[in-house]
C-alpha cells in the first residue's frame, strides 16, 4: 500500500464520506455522493418527451411527439434536454450549490450530469460547450458561475472544449423566480451578446445551464448565438421543472 492510500484510509475512518442529502455515512461507496435511499428518490428524466423543448409526457401512449408550444412557436435552439427533475433532494442540492456556495454539492451534481446518458445526443457533432453567463455583478456576489462548473464536467467527459468568452451578459435582469413564461421572456430579452462572432461562424454549440424552467433564458441565449453566426445550438441542463 502506498502512502497516499494509507492516508486516504485513515481519513475515511475519522472523516467518513457522507451523503450530501441526508448526511448518512456512505460505507463502501467510493466516489458516491448520495446514499442508496436518497438515490432512489432522484427522478431521472427518461420519459416520452417533445423532441425539441424536451417537455415531458409522463403517461403518453404515443411516444415522443412535438408539444403544442413548439408547434405554435418553434424555439431558437435545436433541442433541449435535462437529466433530472427539479424536485426533492435535487432541488435542495442545487440551492445549496448556487445560493449556499457549496462547491462540494456542485461537484457532485456536475458528476451526475456528466454521467447521464442522453440517448438522442451525438456529442461528436458539436464543436464547443458554452455555459449560460452570469452578469459580472452577480458573478462577483456569488463567486462562481454554476453553469461553467457543469459545462466543464461535460467537456471533460465528452472531450469538448468549454469557452465562456463567446457569450456575455450585458444586462443585470431581475430574478426569473416568480415570473410566468411571458414575463420571463420579456425580462431576459436583449440580456446577452455574442462577444466574438467570428469564432461562432458555422459552429454547432452545446449551451449549458443548471435548471430549465420555461426555457426563456436558453432560448434568448440560442437566439443571440445564432445571430452571431452559430449553426446549431443544443441545450443541456442539469435539471428541469416538471
Tell me the pLDDT band of 15, cut-offs 50, 70 and 90: low
Q: DSSP class of residue 77? A: S
CA atoms of 236 and 82, how far apart (whole Å): 6
Higher-pLDDT residue of 104, 155: 155
Q: Do 81 and 197 lie in a common domain? A: yes
Domain range enclosing 22: 1-41
Verify that 74 and 35 share a domain, yes or no: no
Number of domains in the chain: 2
Residue 23, pLDDT > 90, answer: no
Please indicate, yes or no, whether residues 86 and 175 belong to a single structural domain of this protein: yes
Confidence of residue 104 (pLDDT cuts 50, 70, 90): confident
Q: Are residues 71 and 103 in the same domain?
A: yes
Average pLDDT, the chain: 89
Phi, psi dihedral angles at 53 (to 5 degrees): -85, -15
The model's pLDDT over 67-80, given as tens digits with 9 standing for 90+, comes to 999 999 999 999 99
Examine the domain organization and report whether 49 and 35 are in the same domain. no
Q: Could you tell me the sign of the dihedral formed by the alpha carbons of 97, 100, 103, 104, in that order?
A: negative
Same domain, 107 and 154: yes
Whether residue 173 sits in one domain with residue 95:
yes
Q: What pLDDT is attached to residue 7? A: 39
Compute the residue count for the chain. 242
**Same-domain pairing of 175 and 112:** yes
φ, ψ (nearest 5 deg) of residue 94: -65, -40
Task: Give the pLDDT confidence score for residue 20 in this predicted structure.
Answer: 83
Binned at pLDDT 50, 70 and 90, residue 8 comes out as very low
Whether residues 80 and 15 fall in one domain:
no
Q: Are residues 55 and 166 both part of a single domain?
A: yes
CATH number for 94: 3.40.50
pTM (two decimals): 0.88
Amino acid at each position: 500500500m502506498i502512502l497516499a492510500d494509507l492516508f486516504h484510509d485513515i481519513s475515511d475512518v475519522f472523516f467518513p464520506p457522507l451523503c450530501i442529502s441526508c448526511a448518512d455515512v456512505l460505507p463502501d461507496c467510493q466516489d458516491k455522493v448520495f446514499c442508496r435511499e436518497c438515490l432512489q428518490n432522484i427522478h431521472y428524466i427518461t420519459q416520452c418527451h417533445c423532441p425539441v423543448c424536451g417537455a415531458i409526457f409522463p403517461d403518453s401512449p404515443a411516444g415522443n411527439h412535438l408539444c403544442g408550444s413548439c408547434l405554435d412557436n418553434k424555439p431558437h435552439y435545436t433541442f433541449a434536454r435535462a437529466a433530472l427533475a427539479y424536485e426533492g433532494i435535487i432541488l435542495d442540492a442545487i440551492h445549496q450549490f448556487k445560493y449556499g456556495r457549496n462547491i462540494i454539492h456542485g461537484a457532485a451534481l456536475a458528476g451526475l450530469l456528466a454521467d447521464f446518458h442522453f440517448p438522442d445526443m451525438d456529442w461528436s457533432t458539436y464543436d464547443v460547450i458554452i455555459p449560460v453567463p452570469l452578469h459580472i455583478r452577480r458573478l462577483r456576489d456569488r463567486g462562481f458561475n454554476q453553469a461553467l462548473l457543469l459545462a466543464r464536467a461535460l467537456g471533460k467527459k465528452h472531450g469538448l472544449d468549454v469557452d465562456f468568452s463567446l457569450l456575455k451578459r450585458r444586462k443585470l435582469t431581475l430574478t426569473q423566480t416568480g415570473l410566468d413564461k411571458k414575463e420571463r421572456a420579456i425580462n431576459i430579452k436583449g440580456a446577452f451578446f455574442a462577444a466574438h462572432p467570428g469564432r461562432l461562424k458555422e459552429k454547432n454549440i452545446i449551451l449549458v445551464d443548471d435548471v430549465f424552467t420555461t426555457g426563456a433564458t436558453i432560448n434568448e441565449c440560442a437566439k443571440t448565438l445564432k445571430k452571431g453566426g452559430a449553426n446549431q445550438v443544443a441545450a443541456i441542463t442539469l435539471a428541469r421543472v416538471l
